[in-house]
Amino acid sequence: MDEELFPKDEHSDEPAEGVRIIGAEEAEKAIERDDVARRLPHDAPRYGDRPETPPVEGPRPAIRFPLSGASDPSEIDRPPIVPPDPPAAMPHWTEPATGEVPAILASGEEEDDLDAWSTFSSSQPRWRGEGTDFARDEYDDFSRLADEETQVGALDPNRPDPDEFFEFEGPREAEPVPSTRAISSDPRHARQRMRPSTDPGRDVQQAVAVGVGLAALFLILAKAGPKYVMAIVVAVIVLGAVELFTALRRAGYKPATLLGITAAVTLPLASYWKGEAAYPVVLFLVAAFSLLWYLGGAGGDDSPVLGAASTMLVIGYVVVLGSFAALSLTLPSGIGVLLGAIFTSVAYDVGAFFVGRSMGTRPMTTASPNKTFEGLAGGWILCVLVAVAVVGFISPWDNTGVSLSKKVLFGLIAALAATLGDLCESVIKRDLGVKDMGTLLPGHGGILDRFDALLFVLPATYYAARILIF
């Protein structure tokens, strides 16, 4: 047969594994070396043998679960429960921790060599003795859990205020002011971004000192003549307009500030020279040039409507109302008419402040939570008293044609106007998210914070004087 087609098995010549018969001497040596198993006794059980059935009267074998249906669980023998000896003494839950470490080694078992653990740390492990007090001082400083760069959560000393997680904030002051186009989609964004801070209280002594200084300056200029009084009138109007323009820009609006300041200088001067006829001319020019301001690109491309509207707000609120001081100076005894507006507005502020501070309990409106009805009553009462007892003896209010009833009526008109002026400025500040319009007057805030009531009292006084006196 061809070997290439049918190769020969290479292992065919090797002997097959089988049984080798050994002699007695070799078997004895194997038994001594435990290389072979000894012969089992004749009565020993072997693999495959079935155990004998236990006697019926003998002990029952171990129970295997599940039990059969005929088994009675109540007949099962259970070993008695042996309580631990000695019983473990557990401390009360109100007591501090003992610091003891429970033993995990069986009795008589040797402990591990603690020297082997010294290779894992430069310092030896510390073990507390049994019954020692728990050293809480070592674990009070939680800053050891992380360094200053990785401290997070409660360990972070610069973590944000919890309220910031529940409001949508815009860019902060250090970041660029958002464009006016973003405001056009949500005109109330400033109220969401900034909130008025809690009023910590005014320095009354400082406020009184500043008020006395302003009164002294006004009396000195009034002694010099109406032209000198116009200097302080124009200065107050310009500074008030600048404060409001600044607050609007911080809130994201883009008014025509330069145009507004020009109008703040022009309108009171034109009113003093030309009277009421100056108002429509100046207002027409301001409205027209405010739109041309944005048409020419001077105010940017973002929302000219909001820019022009914010500009006209400053003109109408500060410049138009404030220029009635210049109109009052054009009347006979104009300085006396202007003093009537100043004295009644100051009386309202003083009465409302002190009465509201000492007796106020019922807030008037959410626009100004610090103003109460008790303070309102105090302001009105003091305003009417000053109008009768102080202003009534100043020319032209001391004319024989001005009766007591007319003086009381003037006091009521001034009190109403002062209340509206105070509340209207509070609405503007709350919407812009500022506490004070400025910091120019210590103890008062800004110019508008001091003359907010006067802005409304000026036109009321001007027309009251024209109706009741002239």
87-107 residue pLDDT tens: 667 777 777 777 766 655 555
More confident residue, 171 or 13: 13
Cα angle value 145/150/153 (rounded, 5°)? 75
Q: What is the rounded distance in angstroms from the CA atom of residue 221 to the CA atom of residue 218?
A: 5
More confident residue, 120 or 375: 375
| The pLDDT value given to residue 60 | 63
Among candidates 418, 232, 226, which has minimal Cα distance to 336?
226
Q: Which domain holds residue 322?
A: 204-468
Tell me whether residue 6 is in a domain.
Answer: no
| The pLDDT value given to residue 119 | 57
Tell me whether residue 244 is in a domain.
Answer: yes
From first CA to last CA, the distance across the chain in angstroms is 152
Q: What is the rounded distance in angstroms from the CA atom of residue 408 to the CA atom of residue 383?
A: 9
Band of the pLDDT at 433, cuts 50, 70, 90?
confident
Band of the pLDDT at 363, cuts 50, 70, 90?
confident
| The pLDDT value given to residue 244 | 93
Instruction: Examine the pLDDT at 176 and tell me if it is beyond 50.
Output: no
What phi, psi does 216 have (nearest 5°)?
-65, -40
Band of the pLDDT at 14, cuts 50, 70, 90?
low
Instruction: Examine the pLDDT at 12 and tell me if it is beyond 60.
Output: no
Band of the pLDDT at 412, cuts 50, 70, 90?
very high
Contact status, residue 318 vs residue 240, Cβ threshold 8 Å: yes
CA distances from 82 to 79, 86, 410 (A): 9, 11, 101
Tell me whether residue 229 is in a domain.
Answer: yes
Instruction: Examine the pLDDT at 192 and tell me if it is beyond 50.
Output: no
Instruction: Examine the pLDDT at 195 and tell me if it is beyond 50.
Output: no
| The pLDDT value given to residue 406 | 92
Tell me whether residue 301 is in a domain.
Answer: yes
Tell me whether residue 334 is in a domain.
Answer: yes
Instruction: Examine the pLDDT at 197 and tell me if it is beyond 80.
Output: no
Tell me whether residue 20 is in a domain.
Answer: no
Locate 302 and state its tokens.
């973002």
Instruction: List alpha helices for 123-188, DSSP H.
Output: 180-185
* Mean pLDDT score of the chain: 77
Specify the residue for token string 């002699």. 23
Contact status, residue 400 vs residue 423, Cβ threshold 8 Å: no
Averaged pLDDT for residues 172-189: 44
- DSSP states of 53-89 as a string? PPPTTSPPPPP-SSPPTT--GGGS--PPPPPPSSPP-
More confident residue, 160 or 98: 98
Residue type, 233: V
- DSSP states of 217-246 as a string? HHHHHHHH-HHHHHHHHHHHHHHHHHHHHH
301-325 residue pLDDT tens: 678 889 999 999 999 999 999 999 9
DSSP annotation of 394: S
Number of domains making up the chain: 1
Q: What is the rounded distance in angstroms from the CA atom of residue 448 to the CA atom of residue 454?
A: 9
Band of the pLDDT at 367, cuts 50, 70, 90?
confident
| The pLDDT value given to residue 180 | 41
More confident residue, 147 or 352: 352
More confident residue, 75 or 333: 333
117-153 residue pLDDT tens: 555 555 555 555 554 554 555 555 555 555 555 566 6
DSSP annotation of 142: G
Instruction: Examine the pLDDT at 173 and tell me if it is beyond 60.
Output: no
217-236 residue pLDDT tens: 888 988 888 999 999 999 99
Band of the pLDDT at 79, cuts 50, 70, 90?
low
Locate 303 and state its tokens.
């929302």
Q: What is the rounded distance in angstroms from the CA atom of residue 376 to the CA atom of residue 412?
A: 12
Burial readout 90-117 (b: 16 or more C-beta within 10 A, e: otherwise): eeeeeeeeeeeeeeeeeeeeeeeeeeee
DSSP annotation of 391: G
Question: By CB neighbour count within 10 A (0-12 exposed, 13-18 middle, 19+ buried), where does 244 fall?
Answer: buried
> What percent of the chain lies above the pLDDT cut of 70?
66
Instruction: Examine the pLDDT at 13 and tell me if it is beyond 70.
Output: no
| The pLDDT value given to residue 342 | 93
Tell me whether residue 314 is in a domain.
Answer: yes
Averaged pLDDT for residues 150-172: 56
Tell me whether residue 51 is in a domain.
Answer: no
More confident residue, 70 or 422: 422
Q: What is the rounded distance in angstroms from the CA atom of residue 356 to the CA atom of residue 382?
A: 13
* ω into 66 cis (within 30 of 0): yes
* CA-CA-CA-CA dihedral for 85, 87, 88, 93, to nearest 10: 170
Band of the pLDDT at 59, cuts 50, 70, 90?
low
Burial readout 168-196 (b: 16 or more C-beta within 10 A, e: otherwise): eebeeeeeeeeebeebeeeeebbeebbeb
263-314 residue pLDDT tens: 999 999 999 999 999 999 999 999 999 989 888 887 776 788 899 999 999 9
Averaged pLDDT for residues 445-458: 90
232-259 residue pLDDT tens: 999 999 999 999 999 999 988 889 999 9
| The pLDDT value given to residue 467 | 92
228 alpha-carbon distance from chain centroid: 48
